[in-house]
Structure 1
Amino acid sequence: MQKPIASRLSKLVTGLMVSVVLLALCSAGARAEPMPVRVGLDAEFGLDNSTSAQAVELGLRTAIAEINRAGGVLKGRPVELVTKDHRSIPARGIRNIEEFARMRDLVAVFGGRFSPVVIEELPTLKATRTLFLVPWSSADAIIDNDMQPNYVYRLSLRDSLAMPKLLQTAHKRGLDRVGLLLTNTSWGRSNLAAAEKHAAANKHITIVQTAWYNWRDQTLVAKYKALRSAGAQAIVLVANDDEAAVLVREVAALPASEQVPILSHWGVTGGEFTRQAGPALNKVDFSVIQTFSFFRADQQQLARFMRSVAAVSPVRRIEDIRGPVGVAHAYDLMHILAKAIDRAGSTDRKAVRDALEKLGPYRGLVKHYAPPFTPSRHEALSARELLIARYRADGVLVPADD
């Protein structure tokens, strides 16, 4: 009777040893696959006619592919992008931020185009101490938010830079009497404050009148005509693609004697503006502010970017890039974040936030940052990067002479 018992014990011990070995192998295999470091993107993916979220995503994925090919961050951990759609609705954005804040190993969230959404998210960002990076939206209040410490950093345009540039461009063209046509949102109000401040300090510029419109308005021509009647020689427009296309079609239908130049903020570049405006765009004097153009990029940096973007998308030419500022800003900002993660040596958001303010110079696609951010400066761009662009007949946005 002893042999069967001994045999069973032997088999049991052998089985246990095999299980231990298999468990050890599984554990080793698990260790061979390092946990990803996550970054979030909270943007307007589901908004009709919008391409801005997709532009930011393309810039992020291009940079992430380069970072991961070079070994990732924190000595071998890959970067992983997690996207959420707020459809330009602030309540959705707030919910997205709350979900991102609870996500393990998520170091930062990138935002989309719409300043009003980001402004509504600020209290949640403050409460959760979520590091938030801005590659597109431009309202001053996004950075000037009274957070202590401030967890928001921007590599994008700022309204208090945009409006002076647009008004200065009008002045250079001999158009000193301007009308403002603004969206009735926090973004529009941010631009009004910036325009009035610039006009107060530059007496040769006169804002003859301000007109407001609401999102999804189906006509703007009456407001345009009212500004002309008030003496406007040019219109400074703050609009996104939908309303701007409505205006362009209506202005193109007017007699040439009733048309004045339109100088636009860059919200128009975040959607299907040229398609919606159609042939009317070629009949209107329309300019738009930008911070960057791929047509003027450093050739070495551009060649690197074009090789990388081709590996993650169908883009093969500069002309294929939609929402160019969103792509370029997100690309540089992701590389800057990766450097901060490595400097922090951790995915702890406070440590990464602090590291963002201590980075050395970095040569990016948009510019040479020396450095990108400091404790007192959470804006990576300045007035030196601003340029005016126009749409070619084929709908491609190119730098203008002024």
Structure 2
Amino acid sequence: MTGRSRFRALILFVIFIAARATAFAAGNIKIAIDAEFGIPHSTSAQAVRTGAQVAVNEINSAGGVLGRKLEIIERDNRAVPARSLNNIRELAADPDVVAVMCGRYSPVVVELLPEIHRLKMPMLDPWAAADPITENDYSPNYVFRLSLRDSWALQVMMRHALKMGIRKVGILLPNTEWGRSSLKAAEKTATTDTHQEIAATQWYNWGDSGTIMAERYDAVRKTGAEALIFVANDREAVILTREMSRMPKEQRLPIIAHWGLTGGQFFEQSGTALKAIDLTVVQTYSFLGKSDPIARRVLTGLKSVTGSDDPRKVVSPVGVAHAYDLVHLLARAIKQARSTDRQAVRNAMENLGPYQGLVRQLDKPFTAKRHDALTVNEAFMARFADDGAIEPVIKIRH
């Protein structure tokens, strides 16, 4: 080796060592989850964390991103917007936090939108479904969703009712942004698509008693509604299920539910009351019956994180699946941007190439004008099996 060659080799070695040292000094790239970890019986935030962790483990095993490992950190907002705002501000002060992932509560995320955009913090949405979360007036838009939208959920729910021969529905909704978004979607679907009659709309507040929930339900039933379109999380769904199970059989309408109730221990808390109710719920992904390589790989990863690779025991599967795909997309955006600069990562998210995800093949996950990765075609109705697994029913063509 000549002196010049040795010198060149030395320079390359020094550059390599410096790059490794810089990556080490910079620490891990952090993905934060700000969600409802502390709510009793909630499983949605934990499912999001599980799916994200499986993806992080895969990425780190392959060498990480930009020579750095990914790390999941979490904050508990208890579905309280003020707590979430404080969490976001704290997380934004950490330069190693590249993005924040939200939970299932749409009202919390909607309240966060001004601060997210003021801080220029990329927000990844694996669950919260209110349409205004991504259909906001911010440009550039820092929110990227791989999840259901209320407009899609209600379309599938109303079409499911129509397939059952139901022309007249009643709607029971929370008095929140999620409820308002869902009602708007139901009314549009009834007018332009299914041509069903919405016989009555009733509102409830989070924390309402069983007596109040039963009264709201009874008001809907007495209008002649043939089924109940129900937008609820697990707590209110458990209360109504128990109340309805005590009613005469002829007074129990079929319930066609939004997916919030699958983000908690609805099945366990409902107990035998659920057997008395005809309840279906909208979903976007199920591990049941999947044999593709990605599903098998994720189930293997789930065993290392949760101790089980049984597809029937995956808790809140939509949260797991969506978070898994979002973390992989974020990692690709960081790599494409060649930086963890949040604005650069945001720009890269809009320009990602094809990605074969767990939920579906995404030819172009996001664009400058479309920040929802999924479509209505991923949505389907499902039922709780006797063991608590959420089993798809026959898909409705959209």
Normalised to the residue count of structure 1, the TM-score between the two structures is 0.91
Q: Greater shift after overlay, 284-293 or 253-262?
A: 253-262
| Counterpart-to-counterpart distance in 2, 1:185 and 1:31 | 47
| Counterpart-to-counterpart distance in 1, 2:195 and 2:102 | 37
**Equivalence for 1:176:** 167
Aligned: 1:305 with 2:275: no
| Counterpart-to-counterpart distance in 2, 1:91 and 1:118 | 11
**Equivalence for 1:114:** 105
| Counterpart-to-counterpart distance in 1, 2:231 and 2:191 | 20
Aligned: 1:337 with 2:313: no
Q: Aligned-pair distance for 1:238?
A: 0.3
Residue deviations 1:121-144 (CA, integer Å, cap 9, x gap): 111101101100000000011111
Q: Aligned-pair distance for 1:261?
A: 0.4
Does the 8 Å contact 1:298/1:365 carry over to 2?
no
Q: CA RMSD in A?
A: 1.6
| Counterpart-to-counterpart distance in 2, 1:326 and 1:118 | 16
**Equivalence for 2:278:** 285
**How many residue pairs get matched?**
376
What secondary structure sits across from 1:393 in the alignment?
A: coil
1:31–1:355 CA distance, 2 compared to 1 (3 A): closer
Runs (4 or more) in structure 1 with deviation over 3 Å come to 27-34
| Counterpart-to-counterpart distance in 2, 1:28 and 1:292 | 41
| Counterpart-to-counterpart distance in 2, 1:142 and 1:188 | 14
Match of 1:55 among 29, 47, 56: 47
Counterparts of 1:361-372 in structure 2, within 5 Å, are 361-372=354-365
Match of 1:123 among 110, 114, 122: 114
Counterparts of 1:180-329 in structure 2, within 5 Å, are 180-202=171-193, 204-219=195-210, 220-329=213-322
Does the 8 Å contact 1:306/1:316 carry over to 2?
yes
**Equivalence for 1:24:** none
Q: Aligned-pair distance for 1:316?
A: 2.3
Q: Aligned-pair distance for 1:340?
A: 0.5
Aligned: 1:163 with 2:154: yes
**Equivalence for 2:370:** 377
Normalised to the residue count of structure 2, the TM-score between the two structures is 0.92
1:32–1:137 CA distance, 2 compared to 1 (3 A): closer
Kindly, what percent of the aligned residue pairs are identical?
48
Which runs of no fewer than 5 residues in structure 2 stay unpaired? 1-17
| Counterpart-to-counterpart distance in 1, 2:367 and 2:280 | 33
Which runs of no fewer than 5 residues in structure 1 stay unpaired? 1-26
Match of 2:351 among 358, 371, 393: 358
Residue deviations 1:128-187 (CA, integer Å, cap 9, x gap): 011000000000111111111000010000001111110010001001100000011110
| Counterpart-to-counterpart distance in 2, 1:315 and 1:37 | 28
| Counterpart-to-counterpart distance in 1, 2:365 and 2:20 | 39
Letter in 2 for 1:41: I
**Equivalence for 1:9:** none
Does the 8 Å contact 1:297/1:366 carry over to 2?
no
1:397–1:203 CA distance, 2 compared to 1 (3 A): closer
Q: Aligned-pair distance for 1:358?
A: 1.1
Counterparts of 1:79-158 in structure 2, within 5 Å, are 79-158=70-149
Q: Aligned-pair distance for 1:297?
A: 3.3
Letter in 2 for 1:303: R
1:378–1:28 CA distance, 2 compared to 1 (3 A): closer
What secondary structure sits across from 2:288 in the alignment?
A: helix
1:131–1:233 CA distance, 2 compared to 1 (3 A): same
Q: Aligned-pair distance for 1:320?
A: 1.9
